[in-house]
Each structure stands twice: as C-alpha cells, then as structure tokens.
C-alpha cells in the first residue's frame, strides 16, 4: 500500500540537488535535506484546502503565508502535473477537493478565466449580482468554483462538499460563463 510518506520520500529523492549530493557521496547531508523537504511538504498538505492541476502546473491552495490581519493565506505552486501532491492528498486528506483542468477541451480553456475566485472564509465572500451570478473578480464559496470547473469539462473530486447542492447554486454563474 502506498503511503503519504513513501510518495513524499520518492519525490524528495528525485530533487536534482538531493541527487547531486548523493552522487558526491554526501549521503547524510542529502538525507537531511530530503527529510526537511518531507516535513515542509507535510506541513503544506495539512494547510491545503483545495488542489488544482492544469496545463501550467499545480497549485495547493491553502493557508501558508501569515497575513497582516493575523490569519494566513497563500498558494504553493509548481511545475508539472503535481501528481505526488495529488496522490498524497487523496491518501492523507480525501476530504480535500481536487480539480484537474487537463481534461477541459481546448475550446473551453479561455472560459476558465471567467470563473470566480474561491475563498475559504465566509466573511470574505462577495454577494452575487441581482441575477445570482458571480463574475471573475468575485470571491465565493469553493463549491461554486468547483461547479464552474466541472461544467467546463474539468475532472472534479468534490471531497467533503455536496456536489448537487453547489451545482444548483452555481447555475446562474455557469450559464453566464458558457454563454459568453
């Protein structure tokens, strides 16, 4: 059975810097760096509240950077498909929603820019317009964002969210995106 640790350990060993240290015979230094990388990765996974992967790389959306108001915010981004993080989240935190936009057809890609932005705190949500729509500059619940991605053809793992409820709430926004 694959574990979160084994995935992160494999990833840490593949890093070019760690591999170079091993080639130079500096095994204990390489292992120390790998363990540090694994600890940081686990910390990031704990703070992740949703994960996305697409043609430009992957993003762990989470609470990584302390902010001036006492909270924390931020994203951890990387190149590639982020499969190690995606698999690690699926094992360690199956309740975290995941989005794979690699399945969105080319002709729908441009419409993704019209999807509103997800916010993890209700106090920061914007109100929809009089037609019940959110635009691309609005902050809204992650459920609305996931429903929009799914409508464009993304593969969505809803995690702990009720897909039927959020798809129904997102219909005005989805209609605006698809008809624009």
What is the domain partition of the chain in residue ranges?
101-180
pLDDT, position 3: 86
Of the CA atoms within 13 Å of residue 53, those in its CB half-sphere come to: 18
- For helices 4-14 and 83-92, what crossing angle results, to 10°? 160
- Name the DSSP letter for residue 159: T
Rg (CA), the chain: 19
Mean pLDDT, consecutive 10-residue stretches, the chain (180 aa), reads 85 89 94 92 85 85 61 64 77 90 94 90 85 91 96 95 94 93
- Name the DSSP letter for residue 128: P
Tokens standing for 22? 């091993």
pLDDT, position 56: 81
Q: What is the DSSP string of 26-85?
A: -HHHHHHHHHHHHHHHHHHHHHEEEEEEETTEEEEEEEEEE-TTS-EEEEEEESS--HHH
- The whole model's pTM is what? 0.82
pLDDT, position 114: 94
pLDDT, position 11: 85
């Amino acid at each position: 059975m694959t574990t979160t640790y084994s995935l992160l350990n494999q990833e840490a060993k593949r890093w070019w810097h760690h591999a170079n240290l091993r080639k130079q015979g500096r095994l204990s230094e390489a292992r120390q760096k790998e363990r540090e990388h694994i600890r940081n990765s686990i910390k990031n996974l704990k703070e992740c509240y949703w994960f996305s992967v697409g043609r430009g790389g992957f993003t762990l959306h989470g609470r990584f950077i302390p902010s001036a108001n006492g909270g924390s915010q931020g994203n951890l981004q990387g190149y590639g498909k982020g499969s190690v993080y995606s698999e690690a989240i699926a094992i360690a935190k199956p309740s975290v929603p995941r989005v794979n936009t690699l399945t969105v057809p080319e002709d729908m890609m441009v419409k993704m820019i019209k999807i509103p932005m997800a916010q993890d705190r209700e106090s920061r949500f914007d109100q929809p317009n009089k037609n019940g729509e959110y635009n691309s500059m609005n902050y809204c619940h992650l459920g609305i964002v996931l429903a929009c991605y799914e409508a464009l053809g993304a593969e969505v793992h809803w995690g702990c969210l009720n897909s039927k409820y959020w798809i129904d709430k997102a219909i005005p926004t989805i209609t605006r995106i698809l008809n624009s």
